[in-house]
Amino acid sequence: MTSFLQGVAYQFKGLRFTLHSAKLLTLGLARLAILVIITIAAAAIMLANYQEILTLMWNEPQSPWIAWLWHVASWLMALILLAISAVVGFVAAQFLFSVFIMDIMSQITERKVSGWVNSTATDMPWYAYLFYLLRQEIPRAILPVFVALLLLVLGWFTPLGPVLTILSPLAASLFLAWDNTDLVPARRLAPFSQRFAFLRRHLAFHLGFGVLFLIPLLNIVLLSFAPVGATLFYVEQIDESRAAGGSLQGHTGNRP
């Protein structure tokens, strides 16, 4: 329970830290604007073709006894299309822009806290580093969507529907939290197996950090600034505990 509450606390700690840095605030607002614009564009495209999609699935019945069911289905279809557009907008924003902004925000935060960026990946040529960031983002962005959809589908076809309906958004929020805490070890070229093991060891923290992503509207703001709180956690808790235990890995990095 302590780790869960710690995850919640680091969300707001990251927001407070951001308010004291013009660069972090600007980058977070830029990420927020990009996410909102792409999501709205995706929703507009979906809704513009809404009538055609509905017609392909089910023409409006002539019988008034069935017409009410058609209207209910049309509203449900609109909600589903909006949900799909939100997911598509988020994934597109992540791949096109946010992965770079997130890493910059993480580096700025780490430099402010520890005085330098402990990294190996940033020693690569810029084009190789950008490709590396995109490659790292594939499992981090696709995995939460895949797991959430898998649980949702299982909920439709198994007796565990009510339980899986609750687990599906929790799983998505867990992986979204990991998307942010994974920035530092990924930048240090830690193998994927080690980074995934880190997620398993700190499940409670990630649940606490990610559970706030389930609150509508607030989640858009928190997602935009989440790299700050996640980096603060990794540098203040993980790095310091390793240093105290004498097991801090000697990753190469450039001191300012």
Rounded distance between C-alpha atoms, residue 231 and residue 223, angstroms = 13
Each of the 256 residues of the chain gets a pLDDT tens digit; together they read: 788 999 999 999 999 999 999 999 999 998 888 878 887 887 777 777 766 766 666 666 666 666 667 667 777 777 767 666 766 666 666 666 667 888 889 999 999 998 888 776 666 676 676 676 667 666 666 666 677 667 667 766 666 666 766 777 788 788 889 989 988 988 888 888 888 889 989 999 999 999 998 887 788 888 889 999 999 999 988 877 777 765 434 444 444 4
Whether the CB-CB separation of 174 and 207 falls below 8 Å is answered with: yes
The upper half-sphere exposure of residue 39, i.e. CA atoms within 13 Å in the direction of its Cβ, equals 16
Cα-Cα end-to-end distance for the chain: 38
Q: How far apart are CA 39 and CA 179, in angstroms?
A: 19
Handedness of CA 25, 31, 36, 37 (dihedral sign): positive
What pTM was computed for the model? 0.72
Of the candidates 220, 219, 116, 138, the one whose C-alpha atom is nearest the C-alpha of residue 186 is 138
